Chain A
Amino acid sequence: MQIQAERSGQALVVRLAGELDLHTAPAFREAVDKRLRADARIRHLVLVMDEVTFVDSSGIGVLLGRGKQVLSRGGRVVAVGLRPHLQKLFTFTGLTRLFEMVQDERQALQGL
């Protein structure tokens, strides 16, 4: 899995590509946690996921963990461009109740 993260205003924008499973989840967890710890200006999390091809429950677990941290800071979590075949899993696991799901990155960053 490829991970790129940068701050945009109060949002941490994380671009993911590839597969999020037991093997790649720790790297994602560390990449986000490191930046959340280091920068108190970050309130929101934007996950750009149009290049994510696979997520299983290990992936859902780390997404949920990062999301909860951001929500507990009073921030919002937005997932951008999730592929249709992954949407069922996000709904089934209840992640769509915590994450705002949008298709457009610009739309995601507005108002954050």
Chain B
Amino acid sequence: MRLEFPSKPDNIGLARVAVGAFAAQLPFTMDEIEEIKLAVSEAVSNAVVHAYKGSVGPVTVEAWIYPERLEVAVTDQGRGIDDVQWALQPAHTTEPEERLGIGLVIIQEYMDHVRIESAPAQGTRLRMSKAPERVRARP
């Protein structure tokens, strides 16, 4: 599936629900679906807050079903992350107010694999995957 929308907070819920519904094609538990929705919410929120600094631009959410896992990619064409390794650490944030800077930490905790491709002014693409426990547990 592929969903593209402007980087506004109103659209984050839509992205969660779309990926959650798509993911249900695999034998995830309800708790695992909630974890996927949380990770999507964090990734899309990061794009909404950071990518287009004061302006609005496109955010794309794509997902793929493989026999044993779900892959999700959240992409923007915004200003990029200067230092991805720095950004991956908890409380390392360039955010104002009460955001905690833990979105990427949460994604890493709740998804199996996370990869971020980003460079200044070249946009950001976050890829994450999750396998259902039921599939991983098979002998």
Contact = CB atoms under 8 A, between A and B. Distances in A.
Interface string A1-26: 00000000000000000010111010
A57 B13 contact: no
A19 B37 CA distance: 12
A7 to B, nearest CB: 24
B30 A22 contact: no
Nearest to A61: B98
Chain B facing A: main interface SS: helix
Contacts, number: 56
Contacts of A61: 97-100
A22 B9 contact: yes
B126 interface: no
Contacts of B97: 61
A56 B38 contact: yes
30 contacts: A19-B13, A21-B9, A21-B13, A23-B9, A23-B12, A23-B13, A25-B98, A29-B98, A54-B34, A54-B37, A54-B38, A54-B41, A56-B38, A56-B45, A57-B42, A57-B102, A57-B103, A58-B45, A60-B102, A61-B98, A61-B99, A62-B98, A64-B98, A64-B100, A65-B98, A85-B30, A85-B31, A85-B34, A92-B109, A93-B102
